[in-house]
Amino acid sequence: MSQGIKNTQEEILEVIQVENLRKKYGAIKAVAGISFSVKKGEIFGFLGPNGAGKTTTINILCTLARPTAGVAYINDYNVTSHPDQVRNSIGLVFQEITLDNHLTAEENLFFHAMLYGVSRKEFTQRKIELLKLCELWERRKAKIENFSSGMKRRLEIARALINQPKILFLDEPTIGLDPQTRKKVWDYIFTVRKKKDITIFLTTQYLNEAESCDRVAIIDQGKIIALDTPDNLKKMIGGDIITMKTEDNEKAETEFKQKFPEYSIKRLGKELKIEVDQGDEFLPILVKSLPSKIISMELRRPTLEDVFLELTGRQIRENNNGQLEEETPAFDLSTLFSFFTTPKKEKNNKNTKND
C-alpha cells in the first residue's frame, strides 16, 4: 500500500477501491465515510436521490475534487497522489453535455484523442469503430450543434472510450432524456460493456436503471446504506409483495396481523402492502382467510423502490417534506408564467397536484 501504487504485477481484480471516503463542504457532509470496491468488468450502480453525494463521489474518483479524508484507488493508483495516472485510466461522462459545439462529431473525438495522447494512427482505427458503435458514422461530419440530446450522449460515451479507459464513469447518463432515448443509451452501454473489456461505474436516480446493474450501492445522505446485486437487495424485502385494497383497510390490517403474525404488513396510502415468501401460494390462502371485502389485489416482485423505502422510510424521488418530486423538464414554460401568477395561486396549484 506504499504511496499509491500497489501490486501492479498481478492482475487487478478490484479496479475501484474506496475506503472510508469523506468530503465536507464547510459544515455540510456531502460524503460521510463510504467504503466499497468495484470488480473488474462489472456495471456498478450508485443509486440515490438528488444530493445524496453521488456526483461528489464521482468527482473525487475522477480527481476533480479532493477528499477531506479517506483513500480511493482507481486501477490501483491513488486518486490524490497520482491524479495523472488515474485520469489516463478512466473515461468520464459528466451529467451535463460537455461537447464542443463549434466542432463536428469527428473533431470532438479527435480533440479528445489528442488530449489523451492517442496517436493519429490508432485514433483513425478507433474512430471508425466507435462512430459505428454509437450509430453516428453517417453524421460524423455534421456539427454537433444540430444533434439531439440522445445523439450527444452517445457521442460523449464514444468520446470517453477513445483513450481505451479501464473504467468508464457515467454520471447520470440518462438524465433529461425521454424514455425511448434512455433505452437506446442503455442498449448502447450494454453493447459497450460486451465489446470492450471495461468496468462501468454509473450513478442514477432511476430505479429501473439501477436494476440493470450487476451490483448496486444505495446511497443516502452521504452514506451507503446497502450494497449488493439488485436481486439480493430485493431479497432483503422477502419474496414477493402483495398490495391490496379493501373496503376497510384498518380492519383488514388487524385481521391480517392476528392470522399471519410472521409476515409484515404496512399501510401505504390507500393500499396495504404485504411482504411474503411465496406470493403465488400465499395469495389463495389470504383471500380465503380475510373476511374483509377485497376491492383489488396485486402480486409483484419487489423492486429497488421497495428496498429504498424499507431502508430509509422514504421514496427515492421524495423530497424532505414527504412529497413526491415531479420530474421537471430542463426548460419549463410554466416557470415563465409563474411570474405573472400570484404566489398564493401557485401554492394552491401545487397542493392539488400532489393530491
Residues engaged in binding another protein (CB under 8 A): 62-64, 84, 87-88, 92, 94, 96-103, 107, 110-112, 114-117
Q: Which three cell numbers stand for residue 313?
A: 422510510
CB of 117 or CB of 291, closer to another protein: 117
CB of 61 or CB of 286, closer to another protein: 61
Q: Name the residue with cell 485514433.
A: 123
Q: Are 160 and 92 in contact (CB under 8 A)?
A: yes
CB of 120 or CB of 270, closer to another protein: 120
Would you give the DSSP letter of residue 3?
G
The rounded distance, in Å, linking the Cα atoms of 188 and 195 is 10
Q: What is the C-alpha end-to-end distance of the chain, expressed in Å?
A: 55
Least distance to another protein, CB of residue 160, Å: 9
Least distance to another protein, CB of residue 62, Å: 6
CB of 118 or CB of 185, closer to another protein: 118
Least distance to another protein, CB of residue 69, Å: 20
Which contacts of 70-74 are long-range, i.e. CB under 8 A and separated by 24 or more positions? 70/18, 70/19, 70/20, 70/21, 70/22, 70/33, 70/34, 70/35, 71/18, 71/19, 71/20, 71/21, 72/16, 72/17, 72/18, 72/19, 72/21, 73/6, 73/16, 73/17, 73/18, 74/15, 74/16, 74/167
Least distance to another protein, CB of residue 339, Å: 20
Q: Which three cell numbers stand for residue 225?
A: 446504506
The rounded distance, in Å, linking the Cα atoms of 200 and 214 is 10
The rounded distance, in Å, linking the Cα atoms of 66 and 86 is 13
CB of 117 or CB of 313, closer to another protein: 117
Least distance to another protein, CB of residue 118, Å: 9
CB of 99 or CB of 134, closer to another protein: 99
CA-based R_g, the chain, Å: 24
CB of 96 or CB of 262, closer to another protein: 96
CB of 59 or CB of 249, closer to another protein: 59
Least distance to another protein, CB of residue 88, Å: 5
Contacts of 159 (CB under 8 A, 6+ apart): 99, 108, 109, 112
Least distance to another protein, CB of residue 230, Å: 30
Least distance to another protein, CB of residue 82, Å: 11
CB of 97 or CB of 283, closer to another protein: 97
CA separation, residue 76 to residues 2, 23, 82, 298, 345 (Å): 11, 21, 10, 48, 57
CA separation, residue 217 to residues 123, 166, 237 (Å): 35, 20, 16
What residues are paired with 92 via a beta bridge? 169
Least distance to another protein, CB of residue 162, Å: 11
CB of 112 or CB of 139, closer to another protein: 112
Phi, psi dihedrals of residue 315, rounded to the nearest 5°: -85, 155
Q: Are 223 and 46 in contact (CB under 8 A)?
A: no
Least distance to another protein, CB of residue 126, Å: 15
